[in-house]
Structure 1
Amino acid sequence: MTTYENTEENGMNERGALLDFPGADELATAGLVEPLSEPALARVLAEVEAAVATEGTTGTTVITGRAGLKAGGGTVTPIRGPSGRRRILIGMLTTAAVAAGVVTYANTSAAPASTGTHSGVRADTAAVFLNDISTVAASQSAATGKYWRDRTTVGDSYISQSMVQSFVINGKLSTKGKLPDWQLGPKDLDWKGLDQLTTDPAQLLALLQTPPRPKSISPFDQAASLLTESPASPKLRAGLFKAMSGLKGVKLVGQVKDSTGRGGTAVEFAEAKSVGRVIVDPKTSAILEYTFTWTAGASKGKVTHLTVLSSGFTDKIG
């Protein structure tokens, strides 16, 4: 007879059994706390790893890595086994989770796991993730070049310093002409304007929150476009990620895969008739994919996406 069969005979449901361990109350009420310092985090992870090794359990997801901890994205999974040993180990993992600032996501929705959607995610987890990615973006090396190149699943796009856009698709070069300036609130920015733009997150957020102009795209789309398709400096990219974290309505989707199968973390922004989503590589801050979905109107159900295989500066086309 298993542990769960015993608990059912005692009139205790499975949820009650899973929450019957030391630290359950702390986990339920901890919410989102500030992450630990690197040395303290290392000690917590070492203790958890040692506990798992001692227990000898298999197939158990404990914590989704250092990046997940820092971004508030960890998972503590109940371990099935002898009741007493299980409760002790879960208690240790719970203590580590609470101490490290882990948010436990309860994936109880009917959505497929591949979508990365988690129910019960706190509204401010998107802000935590975007602020963490801001730090990653700021740590990237600055570079220069004559062109900004985006290599996509469709072809290669080149933008010159004079804002002329060219494409190489199936080995054939074509020039589209002058690219419209990038939008940022009341500003229209060209290549030179990016270098002169403030990198302060609060000022960038204020620009994004400026009342929209006719035919302007959403604040989320403005930031996503700059992060995906422009030669923004590491400092500007860092500021834009932080500014995005201050936009109301930005939500953390979670771990997903882009159209090529690469893993990343997605955030999205819903408007009245559409939803915009970006998938970010948490290791580099690069935008892997931008997706735009119409949710109402004549184009309802239509989805467009830009999948970026790589991006960066270059001194020649081709």
Structure 2
Amino acid sequence: MTMYDNTEEIGMNERSALLDFPGADELAAAGLVEPLSEPALARVLAEVEAAVATEGITAATGSTGRGGLKAGGGTVTPIRGPSRRRRVLIGMLTTAAVAAGVVTYTHPGTTPSSTGTHSGVRADTATVFLDDISTVAATQSAATGKYWKSHTTVADTYISQSMQYYVVTNGKAATKGKRPDWQIGPKDLDWKGLEQLTTDPAQLLALLQTPPRPKSISPFDQAATLLSDSPASPKLRAGLFKAMAGLKAVKLVGQVKDSTGRAGTAVEFAEAKSVGRVIVDPKTSAILEYTFTWTAGPSKGKVTLHTVLSSGFTDKIG
């Protein structure tokens, strides 16, 4: 009789007993994940300790019985069978793990396995994911050109080094005048200013966290715009991803698909009246899509969607 098949003793096999708790199906479906980070684990253990105290589980003194574990002169008698107490406690552990913000995503550089394993999946937070993406961004090739081109689902746009803005639709180019400068904290940057901007993550975070000016967009939106719609260098993009990770309330959503069906990993930033979301290609660090949703106020429910099919430098329009 194996350790997972003592049905005669407890009335059901051990594996079934161990999985007989609230949240077991979701936990099993998640597959193999890496251990929690130390802060997350601390929160989980605190939840479990509180649950243990509430349930009144204590160590019994005396000699060790069958399977008893000696601890400090006493014994802890193991709980046999699918007891309600064990199901409740493990259920609390599962709930606490979810509350700690454990989300899975495909780690950059890995590919899904066809053997049914989860070698490319890990449990992480937005901070860890954005840190990983920062590394990917830093390894991309640097390039130059006269224009920065964005190929979107709406049109092709071009920004010149003098910040002249062009839109090409149906093969025809139209000048739209000067492009507004890119915003980061107290700074409004043109192309040259962007090249001179610090790439240090701590300094970028300090800029993003500067008290907002009238009509300024949120720190998350500032970073997302620079990452998706500007000729930022690989080093600057790496710094911006790390700075974004330092923003409070940034949440890792996990693997999603954009409006065109492309797979990526999403992070969100919730404010009092809105939620911003970016979908990132974990292999290239490219921003696939940016979504801004109003969650309160007169514009509640209104969604702004910006889907970038490709972007990069070019020396000509069209």
TM-score with structure 1 setting the length: 0.67
Quote the residue 2:12 is aligned against. 10
| Equivalent position amino acid for 1:199 in 2 | T
Quote the residue 2:284 is aligned against. 284
Quote the residue 1:211 is aligned against. 211
1:215-240 CA distance string (max 9 Å, x none): 00000000000001100000000000
Unaligned runs of 5+ in 1: 34-62, 80-92, 104-121
1:18-37 CA distance string (max 9 Å, x none): 799xxx9xx9994127xxxx
Quote the residue 2:108 is aligned against. 67
- For the residues of structure 2 that align with 1:243 and 1:288, how far apart are their CA atoms? 19
- For the residues of structure 2 that align with 1:151 and 1:286, how far apart are their CA atoms? 13
Counterparts of 1:54-203 in structure 2, within 5 Å, are 66-67=107-108, 102-103=122-123, 125-203=125-203
On the 8 A contact 1:157/1:167 being kept in 2, the answer is yes
Higher strand share: 2
Quote the residue 2:263 is aligned against. 263
How many angstroms does 1:172 deviate by? Answer: 2.3
Structure 1 residues 64, 130: CA separation in 2 closer, same or farther (over 3 Å shift)?
closer
On the 8 A contact 1:148/1:160 being kept in 2, the answer is yes
Residue number among 28, 37, 40 corresponding to 1:32 in the alignment: 37
Helix, strand or coil at the partner of 1:174: strand
Higher helix share: 1
On the 8 A contact 2:126/2:252 being kept in 1, the answer is yes
- For the residues of structure 2 that align with 1:154 and 1:294, how far apart are their CA atoms? 21
Helix, strand or coil at the partner of 1:67: coil
Structure 1 residues 64, 192: CA separation in 2 closer, same or farther (over 3 Å shift)?
closer
- For the residues of structure 2 that align with 1:178 and 1:18, how far apart are their CA atoms? 64
Q: Which entry has the higher C-alpha Rg, 1 or 2?
A: 2
| Equivalent position amino acid for 2:281 in 1 | D
Quote the residue 1:252 is aligned against. 252
Q: Number of paired residues?
A: 238
Helix, strand or coil at the partner of 1:159: strand
- For the residues of structure 1 that align with 2:132 and 2:193, how far apart are their CA atoms? 26
On the 8 A contact 1:147/1:159 being kept in 2, the answer is yes
How many angstroms does 1:247 deviate by? Answer: 0.3
On the 8 A contact 1:150/1:311 being kept in 2, the answer is yes
1:197-231 CA distance string (max 9 Å, x none): 10000000000000000000000000000001100
- For the residues of structure 2 that align with 1:162 and 1:15, how far apart are their CA atoms? 69
- For the residues of structure 2 that align with 1:258 and 1:28, how far apart are their CA atoms? 25
On the 8 A contact 1:32/1:102 being kept in 2, the answer is no
Helix, strand or coil at the partner of 2:108: helix
On the 8 A contact 1:133/1:285 being kept in 2, the answer is yes
Unaligned runs of 5+ in 2: 39-103
- For the residues of structure 1 that align with 2:146 and 2:34, how far apart are their CA atoms? 53
How many angstroms does 1:173 deviate by? Answer: 1.5
Quote the residue 2:305 is aligned against. 305
Structure 1 residues 15, 145: CA separation in 2 closer, same or farther (over 3 Å shift)?
farther
Which structure 1 residue ranges, 4+ long, deviate > 4 Å from structure 2? 6-9, 11-15, 63-66
1:82-124 CA distance string (max 9 Å, x none): xxxxxxxxxxx8xx98xx9942xxxxxxxxxxxxxxxxxx6xx
Percent identical residues: 72
On the 8 A contact 1:146/1:315 being kept in 2, the answer is yes
Structure 1 residues 15, 267: CA separation in 2 closer, same or farther (over 3 Å shift)?
farther
On the 8 A contact 2:33/2:122 being kept in 1, the answer is no
On the 8 A contact 2:251/2:269 being kept in 1, the answer is yes
